[in-house]
Structure 1
Amino acid sequence: MAQDTTSSQVQDLVRRLQLLEDKEQIREVLYRNARGVDRADPALLKETYHPDGYEVHWETFTGNGHEFSDFITTETATARSVYHSVTNPLIDIQDHRAFSETAYTARTLVDRTPELGGWVEVVVWGRCLDVLEKRDGVWRIAYRQLARDGAKRTIVPDPLVPPALTCGRPDRTDPSYLGMAIAERRPPQQAGKDGMFVAQRHLP
């Protein structure tokens, strides 16, 4: 009886560990998807969709996930900045398939001075509703649909622009692609003599 109990406990532990591993892999897919859009990296973004994956971005784009990857990264490369934050992933795994609801906030800053008299900042928020499938041991998005919960557009005639050296970039020159090598390119020390808020007022 004791041996049967131990075997059952081990099997239960294996199932729980597999569930945790699957959920972590799915979260990684969600995070990499956001990064692929922000860094205008179509190869990275395509890795998060199965080849027959489907993306419902409503009137912006609805169709194949890999085609969406090419479309959206061409768009984001033209923006001053694009930023996605994904949070609160709720993941329900059923065998080789999973449903995920993830909150998102997206911010874009685009120069629209000729048409609108300034830069346009658009902030949208809502949830990504994803069906993911595990094929050959790999989780990827099979279907994604946005549930939009709000949006705000602001025209900014004279936006604050951080110095070029400090800015993120919508391509593979972004410092995040250095990985751990980023520590080898550290800038020289600089004392915060003026204080953070004074320094911010000096941004161009």
Structure 2
Amino acid sequence: MAPSEALLQEMLDEYQLRKLVHSYCRAVDRGDLAELRSLYHHDATDDHGAFSAGSTEAFLAELAAARPYIRSMQHHVTTVNFAISGTTAEGEVYSVATHTLNGGDHDVDVIVGGRYLDKYENHDGTWKFVERKIVTDWSQVNDPSTVDFSHPISSGTPRGTPDANDPSHQFFSLLNRPGGQPAR
């Protein structure tokens, strides 16, 4: 039995929504604020609790201000649930986010397990965020940081950075294009 057109469209929409969520993770972790901005509709909101709540522009401004204090970030997406209805969708995206921050005379780790509660809209064939709310289910703070690069598995490897100096920017040619898409 061949899949219905409706099922095929749902699969395509879910694929695009997953790419959107993963693009967010890469953009925020690599400090690519222009790419991050492109993932939201112009009137979107983003509620990151005490860090920033309100417009996407306010969130991006806070993120830009925090950049000098961020040593590294990694956002890992786990369970993803989407509900799609035409050109609107909702998503509950489970995540674990690690942050190592400059605490002055030492670094501090903040590890957060939580969920993104997202609303999306598709305009002209492109899904983007219209609303994002962070839910924290658990959090761990290591002060001072427990990051240790002395083991032979990590010793001598390049260090990731949340900016254009990250090794991926020199390594990749396709992933560094806007939207991570090859030129057509």
CA offset at residue 163 of structure 1? 5.7
Larger strand proportion of the pair: 2
Alignment of 1:1-204 (within 5 A): 13-114=4-105, 118-156=106-144, 159-161=147-149, 166-177=158-169, 178-179=171-172
Q: Closer, same or farther in 2 for the Cα pair 1:84/1:105, shift >3 Å?
A: same
Question: What secondary structure sits across from 1:34 in the alignment?
Answer: helix
Q: Which has the larger displacement, 70-79 or 49-58?
A: 70-79
The superposition leaves residues 150-199 of structure 1 with CA deviations (integer Å, 9 ceiling, x where unpaired) of 111111367424667611121123233332589xxxxxxxxxxxxxxxxx
When structure 1 is superposed on structure 2, of 104-113 and 137-146 the one drifting more is 104-113
TM-score by length of 2: 0.82
Q: For the residues of structure 1 that align with 2:146 and 2:79, how far apart are their CA atoms?
A: 34
Of Structure 1 and Structure 2, the greater helix share is in 1
Deviation at 1:125, TM superposition (A): 1.1
Identity of aligned residues (%): 27
The code of the aligned residue for 1:179 comes to F
Q: Partners in 2 of 1:157 and 1:93 — Cα distance?
A: 41
Q: Distance in 1 between matches of 2:156 and 2:57?
A: 31
Structure ID, larger Rg: 1
Count residues with an aligned counterpart: 170
Distance in 2, Cα, partners of 1:111 & 1:146: 23
**2: CA distance between counterparts of 1:150 and 1:72?**
22
Please say if residues 100 and 145 of structure 2, whose CA atoms lie closer than 8 Å, have aligned partners that are also in contact: no
